[in-house]
Amino acid sequence: MPLNDWQKRLISQLVFVMFTIVVMANPIMTSIFAYPSMDTTNRSSQSLSPVPPKYTEEMRNNSSSSTFKITNELKSFINALVDSNDTSGAIAVGLLDSNGTQFYGHGKISNTSITPVDENTIFAIGSITKVFTTTLLADMVNQGLVKLDDSIEKYLPSDIKVPQYNKHKITVEDLATHTSGLPYFPSNYCSSFDPTSTAYQNSTQYRKDLMDCTKNYTFDKFYEALANTTLSGDSGTKFEYSNFGMGILGHILSLKSNMSSFDDLLSKRILSVLDMNSTSINLSNAQKHRLAIGHFNGSQELPTWNPSEPLAPGPGLHSTVSDLLKFLSANMGLVKTKLGDAMQETQVIRHSTNHLLPNNEPASFHSDKFDSDALGFYVGLGWMITTNLGQEIIWHSGSTPDGYNAFIAFNPAKERGLVILCSTDASNVNISDTIFKHNNSLSSLVGTLLNE
């Protein structure tokens, strides 16, 4: 919906606060905390309420002194995202700091259900899956099972042809940092697949056909695509976001571990360690009862997408706000687990993205007081990292063709984390572009929460 004048001023003011942080930031605290229990005091008991009141000047003024909490302003904004876009989808939000967790949700789990979303409602999280895959990588590196600087052909079957550029070989780290030179998707992934097509945004049938086509993608086709790929340049030099590369990485880790599937490997090494019992690629029958159904074009429900195993390590996971807050808590060091060292290594800056975001979109936020060119945009192992060289926001976004999009982020210096999950397509309610997009007022609110 169009922004009015004061909303535009709000964007400028809050984003300015977000990124004019003192360079000499407080060091990251290393105190050991027990994982706090889920606080549902902020959970909406009127999640099916009428359209919320519009922002007021008083609300805007109060937000400037807000602490890290789910404010009435944020609740009203979340409600408006759902209600004003005439969608039957839902949004769930979680906040985390050293004091515990907070939750707020608005909407139902499906068109026919009266059950409101809560912290245990399951959503598809799309490309946020990638930071789980790279955490798994870092853990296996620490175990001596894989080396980041090894060429990938060392871990693949000997009869598989692996492309090179100027005789430079793709390394394991190249896959994890999107610098392999591999394309976004395999060329033979699906004959009708074209993520730039307007049909992808506007046709429900196209999405259904796509989901049906891609579920039959095999490892034989996967290997065939790898052998026939021409790299875009020298590996390890240029950021080009690649689901193909992340799929290969997950496959390598599965082969090296001798596990039957990537899903089982992830469950054993990551999810069970963090007690993330509601997170998986393939949903159990019990989990399906807690799934918020994905939506497109407002109220139209879509079938659940289960990406084929070769590509699942990139966009395949489902999760909940509660589970993702556990994941962030471990990444932030608020709980100590055996994954702590691996998680810290995933957060180390390894390459510049040259102002590109996931899906190879340009960072495009500009205002009177802020220009994205003043920021550094980087990639670690999977994580996207944005910094003003004083503090960092570590984050990732995700979206899926079956009507979901999501965003997670944390500020390690401030020990603040945030999760937003949405069961409607990004073309209706765009959560995945929360960070650094032009005229995005949600980005301003998120920035204020993570940085003030």
CB-based burial label for 151 (10 Å; 0-12, 13-18, 19+): middle
Specify the pLDDT at position 89: 93
CA 394 to chain centre: 11
Specify the pLDDT at position 368: 41
Specify the pLDDT at position 362: 77
pLDDT beneath 50: ranges in the chain: 1-66, 366-371, 438
DSSP 184: S
Specify the pLDDT at position 193: 65
Specify the pLDDT at position 330: 98
Q: What sign for the dihedral angle of Cα 374, 236, 135, 397?
A: positive
Query: How far apart, in whole angstroms, are the C-alpha atoms of residue 190 and residue 216?
Result: 9
Specify the pLDDT at position 292: 98
Q: Which residues pair with 99 in a beta bridge?
A: none
Residue pair 366/391 in contact (Cβ under 8 Å)? The answer is no
Specify the pLDDT at position 41: 31
Which of 308, 361, 318 is CA-nearest to residue 190? Answer: 308
Specify the pLDDT at position 255: 96
Specify the pLDDT at position 40: 32
CATH class of the domain at 1-452? alpha beta
